[in-house]
A and B are shown apart, each in its own frame.
Chain A
Amino acid sequence: MAAPIIMLGRNAGAVARTIFRTSRALHQVGICGLYDRPAIFSQSCRLLLPATFHIASILRNAPAITVTDEPDALYQKVEVLVKGHDKAVLDSYEFFATMAAKELGIGLSKVYEPPKHIERLTLLKSVHIFKKHRVQYEMRTHFRCIELSRITGSTAQVYLEYIQRNLPEGVAMEVTKTAIEKVPEHIQKPMWDEVPTKEQEQEQASQ
């Protein structure tokens, strides 16, 4: 029994609660209802929606794949260094990043933990005088390094964007990319071989 939403002169909290109650009622009945509660969707409307619904609902319109003629960049090594104050958070993030790399077919050369850095301060405890009484603080920064080897530019862009969007609060990241390139055309041969011919042409043109 779907209860109609009756709008009375109440404040926003009450309205929200009404909507919530109505949506819960709808959920119990099993009708697909409100679009701002995807959590309810999954339990009631599994038959109508494909497994990728959640991603689609987040991305709205799935971006089209464009193929350009521009040559893809090649990265010999992409090193992702994450820094944080909590080691457990970095552990979880490492699990996520390594799993994502495996799923996308990216080769991992090294995953290691550089030693932590502790910055210590000794300050005066009191606002005024009492020099003998101090208080000590320390700030610990833990690191985690993930090295990806032999990755193309498109894949690197996709992977890094995915990783960076899911970076937790209080964690910083530094990405070092080593791209490999061909020797450009203007460094293949010394230009002094061609310069005399240009001078000859100029002479011929002036004559």
Chain B
Amino acid sequence: MSASTMCTTALSFTRTSGHCLTNYALNVLGRRATYSTALSTTNAKGFPDRSNRGPRRPRRESGEPRTEKMPEAQDWTAVYPSAAAFKPSAVPLPVRMGYPVNRGVPPEKKGNLELIKIPNFLHLTPAAIKKHCEALKPFCTEWPVGVDSEAASEKHFPIQVESKEFVSAGSSLRNPKARVVTLQVKLSSLNLDDHARRKMIKLVGNRYCIETDTLTIVTDCCPLRQQNYDYAMYLLTVLYHESWKTEAWEAEKTREDMEEYHWEGSPSQKNVLDMLQRMRATSEGEEDPSAVRQELLGRPEVQEYRDSVTRLKNEGETEETMLQYREAVKKLLNI
């Protein structure tokens, strides 16, 4: 038995190495042959047998793969009704996946781990999606007809509430960003008069965007989204009602607190009227100063000057506004 073992191992060695090392191999193995054991633990191929120490279970041959028996007009949704791993014997496609080794081709689908690892969409073929959607249709509702355009939805539903939901796998299902609620509303859609609007803008500060006339309230102080939404609506309610109230201290509003520039009572008005009065005084005699001022204010050049200065201060310095100011000054000084 030991001799036969030596021969089989020698043969296996020469076969696997691929070269003819007969003399050298036999000499080497001949020296090792003295250590061979009584029981042979290698089978004919030279690989060690699995240690079960009992009668070996015969290896059953797998039958014909299912793909051979599939008719062409079969119902694929029955083969893959829900998400399942890739089964090469159940998918009749000649798919190949993997890196081509030794300038070959990608490995075939039988026993291919790469195809099993990647998520497949075999259960979501167009036919399956159609079937699912047919079953889901009764649970859907239609968009109301009167709110089709942007303008209509702005008019009837001016408040926009934004929230996020997260779906991911991890050690925790929660996401702290899911409780943030953003409320956006245009002030033009709320019932506010002039004073209430100015007060509201002062109360909210930088939450109001002048270009889009949108008030944005972001709440995330409460632990639940519903609570944050309720808090945002509460804030809106409080802001609205407080802005309609007129407090006693609001009468102390000074020129610096004003949002816009008013020419009446400004140093510009005083200077212009003084200047025009002096220009007049040089040519004529003394008159009642207040009556003169009133008359001067009524003049069209002064009105134009007023418009140009107000526009310059409120809108900023652009070519147009500067040109308008220049024309007004020229007319005023008769240049």
Contacts and interface: CB of A to CB of B under 8 A. Distances in A.
A108 interface: no
A180 B118 contact: no
Interface of A is mostly: mixed
A7 to B, nearest CB: 20
B81 A54 contact: yes
30 contacts: A42-B75, A42-B78, A46-B75, A54-B131, A62-B135, A74-B157, A89-B118, A92-B124, A103-B134, A104-B133, A104-B136, A105-B140, A151-B143, A152-B142, A155-B141, A158-B139, A160-B165, A166-B83, A168-B119, A168-B121, A174-B164, A175-B165, A175-B166, A179-B161, A181-B160, A181-B161, A182-B158, A183-B158, A187-B237, A189-B191
Closest 7 CB pairs of A and B: A42-B78, A190-B244, A103-B133, A168-B119, A172-B168, A180-B157, A155-B140
Contact of A58 (B82, B191, B240): B82
Interface string B115-136: 0001101001010011111111
B143 A192 contact: no
A152 B143 contact: yes
Nearest to B154: A180
Interface of A: 38-39, 41-43, 46, 51-52, 54-55, 57-58, 62, 65, 72, 74, 76, 86, 88-89, 92-93, 96, 99-100, 103-105, 150-155, 158-160, 162, 164, 166-184, 186-192
A177 to B, nearest CB: 6
Interface of B is mostly: mixed
Contacts of A189: 191
Nearest to A157: B139
Contacts of B143: 74, 150-152
Given A103-B133, A181-B161, A152 B141 contact: yes
A103 B132 CA distance: 9
B156 interface: yes
Nearest to B144: A74
B190 interface: yes
Contacts of B191: 187-190
Contact of A86 (B118, B124, B130, B240): B118
A71 B331 CA distance: 64
Given A158-B136, A169-B169, 8 more contacts: A39-B81, A65-B139, A104-B137, A105-B140, A172-B168, A172-B169, A175-B165, A177-B162
A154 B139 contact: yes
A190 to B, nearest CB: 4
B153 to A, nearest CB: 6
B241 A54 contact: no
A26 to B, nearest CB: 15
Contacts of B244: 190, 192
A22 B142 CA distance: 49
Contacts of A52: 131, 134-135
A158 B153 contact: no
A187 B79 CA distance: 58
A88 B121 CA distance: 11
Which among A154, A180, A192 has the greatest number of chain B C-beta atoms within 10 A? Answer: A180
Contacts of B185: 183
Nearest to A180: B157
Contacts of A54: 77-78, 81, 131
Nearest to A184: B233
B141 A100 contact: no
A176 B162 contact: yes
Contacts of A177: 162-165
B236 A187 contact: yes
Given A65-B138, A89-B118, A184-B233, A100 B241 contact: no
Nearest to B243: A190
A103 B157 contact: no
B147 A74 contact: yes
B60 to A, nearest CB: 9
